[in-house]
Amino acid sequence: MTVSPAIPPSQLRLSVAPMMDWTDTHCRVFHRHLAPHARLYTEMVHANAVIHGDRSRLLALDPVEHPVALQLGGSEPGLLAQAAQIGTAHGFDEINLNCGCPSDRVQAGRFGACLMREPQLVADSVAAMVAALEDRGVDVPVTIKCRLGVDDDHDWGHFLAFIDTVAAAGCRMFVIHARNAWLQGLSPKENREVPPLRYDWAYQLKRERPQLQIIVNGGIATHEEATQHLEHADGAMLGRAAYHDPYLLHRLDVAWFGGALKTRGELLRGLRPYIESQLARGVHLKHITRHLLGLFAGERGGRAFRQVLSEGAHKSGADWSLIEQALSLTESSQDMRDEPALGQTLGSGQARA
């Protein structure tokens, strides 16, 4: 059996979750500016789409994004192996297989979370991808993102058997979204909120299988929570919190890896060359700014910043000056960033800038 290469531990500590419609290349470039050491993930792309679809769009990747993983959906080992080869040829640093998505469409295609019921099929898929990459001399890890179980299966033994079966096929890194997926009756959104989180299972997995690399995901909302997970596992993966409050990523990166804390304005201005180069290539500003809206979340001027970008970025000719305009509404807070946000000093309901 061939084992997938290990990921350097420092690259595991902080990661941003794969999020459909959200973590496209513009979003990932933004997150990379905020968190130079984070591991980034694409949206899930089905293996068939990788093989037959528009690769320049689906596999778009900017050189600054590394290390970045391509997340694949699918359950046919041959197709996944082919897609993994294509993904690594495009420069992705990891191939991650989705075993956690509960949507109806995904269930109909027999992939995503329902794969947790088919450990051998996942193992065969992993083995096919690992072998295909090894054949090409490609040293890229094949990893899994999964739940704890599906529906009302709360059997630790089943979960461990799933992990062991897949690990025996060569997978060493598992992202554990630490709750079950309910395949009937809950929307994908509810499936990220309703089934209770059980981080202790991810921790126990790390204790019982210390040779595996275990990343904890699900509901991590604060700096303190993220930091706590590092005591029990190899890393913390943030999804919604990273997207809605991206400055959290910067604070975590600086706290865990060192470096100077930059202001939100400095970080955004660091993105200017990228944004201008994309505009010059014909990309509309709104496709980039939609990912920036949370940068001043909870800060003085944050709402105005969001509003200026939301209202102006879709207009024809919108360019960097719109971002400067939005920033100017927040600038006064830059000098007082250690002070509480206005919303905390005024009663709720009073106007924020």
Residue with tokens 């630790």: 156
Residue 146 known to be catalytic: no
Q: How many helices (H) and strands (E) does the chain have?
A: 18, 8
Catalytic residue among 27, 99, 101, 146: 101
Closest distance to ligand FMN from the beta carbon of 250 (Å)? 17
* Cβ count near 277 (within 10 Å): 11
Nearer to ligand FMN, 18 or 265 (CB): 18
Least Cα distance to 43 among 24, 67, 26 occurs for: 24
Least Cα distance to 328 among 350, 298, 308, 351 occurs for: 308
Residue 71 marked ligand-binding: yes
Beta strands in the chain (DSSP E): 14-16, 39-46, 68-73, 94-99, 142-146, 173-177, 213-217, 235-238
Nearer to ligand FMN, 241 or 252 (CB): 241
The encoded tokens of residue 49 equal 């789409």
* DSSP 3-state percent helix, strand, coil across the chain (nearest 5): 45, 10, 40
Nearer to ligand FMN, 70 or 131 (CB): 70
The answer to whether 108 and 159 have CB atoms below 8 angstroms apart is no
Closest distance to ligand FMN from the beta carbon of 98 (Å)? 5
Closest distance to ligand FMN from the beta carbon of 192 (Å)? 5
Determine the distance from the C-alpha atom of residue 93 to the mean position of all C-alpha atoms in its chain, rounded to a whole number: 14
Nearer to ligand FMN, 131 or 163 (CB): 163
Residue 137 marked ligand-binding: no
Position with the least CB separation from ligand FMN: 239
Residue 74 marked ligand-binding: no
Closest distance to ligand FMN from the beta carbon of 204 (Å)? 19
Closest distance to ligand FMN from the beta carbon of 294 (Å)? 13
- Residues making contact with ligand FMN (CB under 6 A): 17-22, 43-44, 71, 98, 100-101, 145, 177, 192, 217-220, 238-241
Residue 19 marked ligand-binding: yes
Residue 240 marked ligand-binding: yes
Nearer to ligand FMN, 21 or 338 (CB): 21
Q: How far is CA 118 from CA 109, 112, 142, 171, in A?
A: 14, 11, 18, 16
Residue 91 marked ligand-binding: no
Active site residues: 101
Residues annotated in a binding site for FMN? 18-20, 71, 145, 177, 217-219, 239-240
Residues annotated in a binding site? 18-20, 71, 145, 177, 217-219, 239-240
